[in-house]
């Protein structure tokens, strides 16, 4: 499939469809969106490769003249891709459990190759799902802990990092090495209540809705492009424990939806925003 973005202009849809047809492809799904504020066109085109004139390795090069003509940014993906995925978690187990269960059940097209934590809590859980567990304590040297984590991810050739309530701030260098390949679940409706203890912040503010946000990680804390969000209504009767309990239900669902969208190549980041196709 092709994920593309470019300045909006006439002829894009027709040209892309004709290119697929002329090279023997059959389009099975296509979606597009035009951002009229910025004048940018986005498209996701999924087509069959049976009988196609170009193999996987030559597809991007063959499409290059079209991309150059329209000034496109293009990503080429294949539906059978299963990225090697690492799931990071601290104390809370709910998001980690849900991701492992969905991956095991085949709901998420990813190969979870490791679980890592700054605490020893999840060794048994990871073992239950047959996933290697790595305990990387922070101790007195956070930089060394992150370096060890980075080395582990490189050694295991990890493609995607999932922060399933991993309560550590990653360095800009760590993040820059993995653009749009680290997905975090934050337990608030961003941009409200950034950082630590958002449910306590929400209770102190007296909000009437709480939320959860899944986003790509950038160097700026909890400010990356948002992939998915959801909310639940609350009242003055809900204390911090109530908000936390209800928020956990949101977190697992929002993270799962975001991961599925990413793994199915339905997300197009644009600046600090995303286009998420259905």
Convert the pLDDT of each residue in 248-264 to its tens digit.
999 999 999 999 999 99
pLDDT higher than 90, residue 80 = yes
Of 76, 102, 130, the residue that ends a domain is 76
Instruction: Mark whether 204 and 259 lie in a shared domain.
Output: yes
Mean pLDDT, range 114-132, rounded to an integer = 97
Instruction: Mark whether 134 and 184 lie in a shared domain.
Output: yes
Q: What is the pLDDT of residues 165-175, one digit of tens each?
A: 999 999 999 99
Confidence at residue 19, expressed as pLDDT on a 0 to 100 scale:
97
Mean pLDDT, range 148-159, rounded to an integer = 98
Instruction: Mark whether 13 and 104 lie in a shared domain.
Output: no
Q: What is the pTM of this model?
A: 0.94
Domain count, the chain: 2
Average of per-residue pLDDT values in the chain: 95
Domain, as residue range, for 96: 84-276
Nearest to 27 by CA among 42, 40, 43: 43
Instruction: Mark whether 104 and 71 lie in a shared domain.
Output: no
Instruction: Mark whether 106 and 136 lie in a shared domain.
Output: yes
Q: Three-state SS for 41?
A: strand
Mean pLDDT, range 24-43, rounded to an integer = 96
Instruction: Mark whether 269 and 188 lie in a shared domain.
Output: yes
Confidence of residue 275 (pLDDT cuts 50, 70, 90): very high
Instruction: Mark whether 88 and 221 lie in a shared domain.
Output: yes
Could you tell me where the DSSP H helices lie in 4-49? 12-22
Contact 76, 52 (CB under 8 A): no
Contact 74, 67 (CB under 8 A): yes
Residues identified as active-site:
222
Confidence of residue 221 (pLDDT cuts 50, 70, 90): confident
Of 44, 76, 108, the residue that ends a domain is 76
């Amino acid at each position: 499939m092709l994920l593309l973005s470019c300045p909006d202009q006439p002829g894009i849809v027709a040209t892309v469809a004709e290119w697929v047809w002329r090279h023997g492809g059959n389009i099975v799904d296509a979606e597009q969106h035009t951002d009229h504020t910025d004048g940018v066109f986005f498209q996701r085109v999924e087509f069959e490769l049976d009988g196609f004139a170009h193999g996987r390795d030559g597809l991007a090069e063959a499409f290059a003249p079209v991309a150059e003509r329209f000034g496109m940014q293009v990503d080429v993906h294949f539906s059978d891709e299963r990225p090697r995925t690492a799931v990071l978690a601290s104390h809370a187990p709910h998001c980690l459990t849900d991701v492992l269960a969905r991956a095991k059940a085949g709901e998420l097209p990813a190969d979870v190759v490791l679980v890592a934590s700054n605490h020893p809590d999840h060794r048994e859980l990871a073992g239950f799902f047959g996933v290697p567990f790595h305990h990387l304590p922070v101790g007195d040297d956070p930089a060394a802990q992150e370096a060890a984590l980075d080395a582990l991810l490189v050694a295991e050739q990890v493609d995607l990092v999932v922060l399933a309530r991993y309560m550590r701030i990653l360095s800009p260098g760590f993040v820059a090495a993995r653009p749009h390949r680290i997905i975090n679940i934050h337990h608030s409706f961003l941009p409200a209540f950034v950082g630590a203890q958002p449910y306590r912040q929400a209770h102190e503010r007296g909000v009437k809705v709480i939320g959860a946000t899944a986003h790509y990680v950038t160097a700026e804390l909890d400010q990356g492009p948002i992939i998915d969000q959801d909310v639940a209504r609350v009242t003055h009767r809900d204390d911090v424990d109530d908000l936390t309990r209800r928020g956990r239900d949101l977190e697992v669902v929002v993270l799962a939806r975001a991961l599925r969208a990413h793994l199915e190549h339905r997300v197009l980041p644009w600046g600090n925003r995303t286009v998420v196709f259905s």
